[in-house]
Structure 1
Amino acid sequence: MTIKETLAPDGLDLSSGSFAKIPTREVRRGGTLAFFAWTLAVYDFILFGTLLPRIKESFGWSETTALLANTLVSIGVFIVVILVGLVVDRIGRRRGMMITVGGAAASSFLTGISTGMASLVGFRALSGFGMAEQSVNATYLNEVLALAESEKIRRNRGFIYSFVQTGWPIGALLAAAFIAGINGIFGEGSWRLSFIIATVPALFVLLLRKGIKETPQYRLHRYLDGLVKQGRKAEAEEIATNFGITLKQGSALREIFDARNRRNTIVLSLAWIVNYFGISTTSILGTTMLEGVKGVSANYSLLIVVLSNIVGAMGYIFHGWLGDKIGRKKVIILGWILAGGFWAAFVLGPSNIAFTMITYMGTLFFLLGPYAAILFYQAECFGSRVRGTGSSFIASMGQPGTIIASAALTGLVASGTGLGTAALWVGAGGMVLSGLLVLGAKHVEAVRH
């Protein structure tokens, strides 16, 4: 059977090896869904870190026990994130987005009815579905934006994607503002209600899935896999050659460690691990650090978190824009090293509120902002067949970073080291080291297909 006689998915010209352009309205619809999905995933994730001091009081935990709970939760989240990463190239980008949103909603509700350490850790592990959302989004939008009918969109893909990544600081902002409102109405013992109510917006996002289509790149690979299963491998190879891709050679996990991909997989995974030392210290445990290191009151710590995450949202947009201009790799390196400098100043500087706010804001601006660049960059590192697996695998390495950081903080505090000194070595050290590690990554041309 010739290629022209083969029934191909819509939008694919098999003989010429070209994809049909995606209308701007579909690009906007997909980007909107990705933004809301990521915002709510972060909202749920940050809710736990922000409310950890209240959860600690509710269960009568010590500081060490609370940090241990955070460490165990991180282990569970890592397991879930890595599992999602291993199947995202099998189930598809669109379905992956739906599963991750639903998992985050379930985690929020179940956390609200937890009864102790075991149930809390188990239920919070499901928030790994939400954390997997960012790599699924990056994979989906990398492929959609590359085929946008608008040349302006294709030229500014990193900048456009950065608006989706603002879901992190916006989600954190919403979490802090929501907690302040709930606490004001029901008191500080209302942390359970905060989690249960957080389920409702996630269910709304699931309704937005109508009209979101699977990416042409993923549909092509599924089509080629079908041809091979039908015994039409020669035809599949000809089509793959036309599109400049290769057929499935083995497991996707094995392929991201082959000679072509190994270096970036390892280097970027290590960078994520140590950068999450900073994420854990400054963002996930933000209120703990503000209250414990600088002596800020609970109300003021929430206010600082809110204002700092507004600045953090601008950081995403700035780094996304700059990455399109000078290269994503340079932006990542510079941003994370600067973030380490701001955090060192935060810990070592005076405790007056103005200095605390400026240094904390500067840390989040340069720490969070480069994620708009690195998520898009690492998706460009892989071919479309293993793009979801590669990007998700690297992003999942943030969880071992959280585990190691939590264990290090717990150990240092338990040994008598002050919380400030522990935050300096773990947080600032991780940020600077992660930036230096990215120096070892390959320069990658954007993968057009």
Structure 2
Amino acid sequence: MSTSEHFENKTTPPQGGTDTSTAAADSKPSTAHDVTSRDVKIASWICFFAWTFAVYDFVLFGNLLPQLAASLGWSEAHSTEVNTWVTAGTALMAFAIGPLTDKIGRRKGILVAVAGAALASLLTATVGWVYGIAAGLGLVFLVVVRSIAGLGYAEQAINAAYLNEMFAHRYSDPAKARRRGLIYSLVQSGWPVGSVLAASSVYLLFPIGGWELCFAVAALPAVFILWAGRWLKESPQFRRRQEVDELRRAGHADEARERAVAYGISSEKQSSPITAVFRGKSLRPTLVIGSAFLLNWVGVLAFSILGTSLLTAESGKNISFDNALTILIVSNATAFLGYLFHGWLGDRIGRRNTIGLAWIVCSMCFFAMLQAPDGNYPLIVALYSAGLFFLIGPFSALLFFTGESFPVHTRATGSSLINASGQVGAIIGGVLITATLSAGQSWETATLWWGCLPILAAGLLVFAAPNVDPRTVRTD
């Protein structure tokens, strides 16, 4: 029996009011909840749009931070300090959604993340009004609201866990398995697409209603995603793990073992996902990939999230705000191609190798950009675009690589923990950049030390992670 035939004869856990004892009585797996190729395609499209609109809101805050700071009378140092507190809240939310998703399922986790991001966008539009009542209250309100927006950022970790499992079910043949990275890169490319939408919306909406209107409009796409969520099906791997656990908890140990053997998973009681990610074979990817992710995000903060601040500051590249937005649109369009390229390359030379090599080249591109003369606009555009190509593009390989590195029991938790470590890196980067600017140093100096060097270190460190053959499919 081929691997794909083996999977087509698996079952999934009983739903809602199904009697567990009835399921236990029939130990032969059914195919009632297997997913089809059409289900996987629908899931991929929904995850793409969900991630795109989550990024739209997430990046919008960074793009509009200079305008929001000017409106509320903040200095450059104070605005980066506020962003650091927001990032801390984002990290907490990004991690919290992982264990929840391992408990309630990938489908519900995606919908929770979408709804949370939409709520945050809508409430951000009211920050100016709250700030007008009391500056201190408005500041706390902003931090809390933008922390909730961390659910949108967490979406990529949930998507990675979910699609990793869906792809394993439908693309189990080795020849097809080698296309999974490219397919996933199309979903993860929602980052540059969302970034372009954010920059474009600023062009269109900011002159009409200011930053408030931009955030209010950002909440609208969530209605479409929540409506489309009815067509999302839970992943077979999660349901099979859930079914075995339910049988075991109901006292049907023999039936649980039979199902577990048929599914190729363990029937033993599992430790909590939070504990399990720091044990056994999960420990090394947790520490290595998490640390590399953290270091890389110090650079992401400097060059992507705070990109407009770097480009427009007098001590940065001293480019007008409108021209800076043009650079963001062009460079993020280039980053879209970066996602496809690194997804394709990861299917061939391995995702770990792709990530490491790309980040090393990225650090070189941004270093060259910082050395470029401020008046050389074409050169700055070219180097900034190349930097984002090798900075953002590898995330299509990184998120899928993260999903491959953990079993189904801890996949969402492990992915979310690593994903949240990126926000910890952004916190560290925010503190370091704020301290550097407060000490009177330039944006160019700050981003050299706390952008280029951490990205280079991340590229070198990721080679210490366990490699995964892109032709293999993890089914546990």
| TM-score, normalised via structure 2 length | 0.89
User: Is the 2:65–2:79 contact (alpha carbons within 8 Å) kept by the matching residues of 1?
Assistant: yes
- Who is 1:136 aligned against? 158
User: Is the 1:23–1:149 contact (alpha carbons within 8 Å) kept by the matching residues of 2?
Assistant: no
Alignment counterpart, residue 195 of structure 1, candidates 193, 215, 218: 215
Alignment counterpart, residue 398 of structure 1, candidates 412, 422, 439: 422
Deviations, residues 316-354 of structure 1 (Å, cap 9, x unaligned): 000001100111011000111111111111111222101
Aligned-partner Cα distance in 1 for 2:215–2:260:
47
- Who is 1:285 aligned against? 306
Alignment counterpart, residue 382 of structure 2, candidates 349, 358, 365: 358
The correspondence of residues 238-317 of structure 1 with structure 2, limited to 5 A, is: 238-246=258-266, 247-292=268-313, 293-317=316-340
Gap change, CA 1:377 and 1:149, over 3 Å in 2: closer
Deviations, residues 165-206 of structure 1 (Å, cap 9, x unaligned): 1100110100000001112334xxx10111011111112111
Task: Note the C-alpha offset of 1:211.
Answer: 1.7
- Who is 1:207 aligned against? 227
Q: Secondary structure at the match of 2:331?
A: helix
User: May I ask how many residue pairs the two structures share in their alignment?
Assistant: 441
Q: Secondary structure at the match of 1:439?
A: helix
| Matching residue's letter, 1:161 | Y
Aligned-partner Cα distance in 2 for 1:331–1:94:
29
Gap change, CA 1:58 and 1:149, over 3 Å in 2: same
User: Is the 1:274–1:401 contact (alpha carbons within 8 Å) kept by the matching residues of 2?
Assistant: yes
Alignment counterpart, residue 205 of structure 2, candidates 165, 179, 182: 182
Aligned-partner Cα distance in 2 for 1:273–1:8:
36
- Who is 1:379 aligned against? 403
- Who is 2:354 aligned against? 331
- Who is 1:170 aligned against? 193
Task: Note the C-alpha offset of 1:8.
Answer: 5.9
Alignment counterpart, residue 40 of structure 2, candidates 16, 21, 27: 27
Q: Does 1:434 align with 2:458?
A: yes
Q: Does 1:367 align with 2:394?
A: no
- Who is 1:103 aligned against? 116
Task: Note the C-alpha offset of 1:153.
Answer: 4.9
Aligned-partner Cα distance in 2 for 1:140–1:234:
29
Deviations, residues 97-130 of structure 1 (Å, cap 9, x unaligned): 0000000000000111012311111110011100
Structure 2: gaps (5+ residues): 1-9, 16-22, 132-137
Alignment counterpart, residue 249 of structure 2, candidates 197, 221, 229: 229
Aligned-partner Cα distance in 2 for 1:95–1:316:
26
Task: Note the C-alpha offset of 1:310.
Answer: 0.3
The correspondence of residues 39-118 of structure 1 with structure 2, limited to 5 A, is: 39-114=52-127, 115=131, 116-118=138-140
Gap change, CA 1:90 and 1:101, over 3 Å in 2: same
Q: Does 1:409 align with 2:436?
A: no
Task: Note the C-alpha offset of 1:237.
Answer: 2.3
Task: Note the C-alpha offset of 1:444.
Answer: 2.6
Identity %: 40
Gap change, CA 1:199 and 1:153, over 3 Å in 2: farther
User: Is the 1:21–1:148 contact (alpha carbons within 8 Å) kept by the matching residues of 2?
Assistant: no
Q: Secondary structure at the match of 1:270?
A: helix
Aligned-partner Cα distance in 1 for 2:94–2:29:
38
Q: Secondary structure at the match of 1:385?
A: coil
Aligned-partner Cα distance in 2 for 1:191–1:51:
7
Q: Secondary structure at the match of 1:210?
A: helix
| Matching residue's letter, 2:147 | A
- Who is 2:475 aligned against? 448
Aligned-partner Cα distance in 2 for 1:108–1:44:
6
User: Is the 2:34–2:236 contact (alpha carbons within 8 Å) kept by the matching residues of 1?
Assistant: no
Q: Secondary structure at the match of 2:233?
A: coil
CA-atom RMSD, angstroms? Answer: 2.1
Deviation larger for 246-255 or 432-441: 246-255
Gap change, CA 1:289 and 1:8, over 3 Å in 2: closer
Deviations, residues 380-406 of structure 1 (Å, cap 9, x unaligned): 111111111111111110110010000
| Matching residue's letter, 2:110 | M
Gap change, CA 1:127 and 1:242, over 3 Å in 2: same
Deviation larger for 255-264 or 172-181: 255-264
Q: Secondary structure at the match of 2:230?
A: coil
Gap change, CA 1:256 and 1:18, over 3 Å in 2: farther
User: Is the 1:86–1:393 contact (alpha carbons within 8 Å) kept by the matching residues of 2?
Assistant: no
Aligned-partner Cα distance in 1 for 2:11–2:403:
29
Deviation larger for 69-78 or 112-121: 112-121
Aligned-partner Cα distance in 2 for 1:112–1:200:
13
Aligned-partner Cα distance in 2 for 1:49–1:36:
20
Q: Secondary structure at the match of 2:187?
A: helix
- Who is 1:121 aligned against? 143
Aligned-partner Cα distance in 2 for 1:213–1:298:
44
Task: Note the C-alpha offset of 1:16.
Answer: 7.7
Q: Secondary structure at the match of 1:245?
A: coil
Aligned-partner Cα distance in 2 for 1:210–1:68:
40
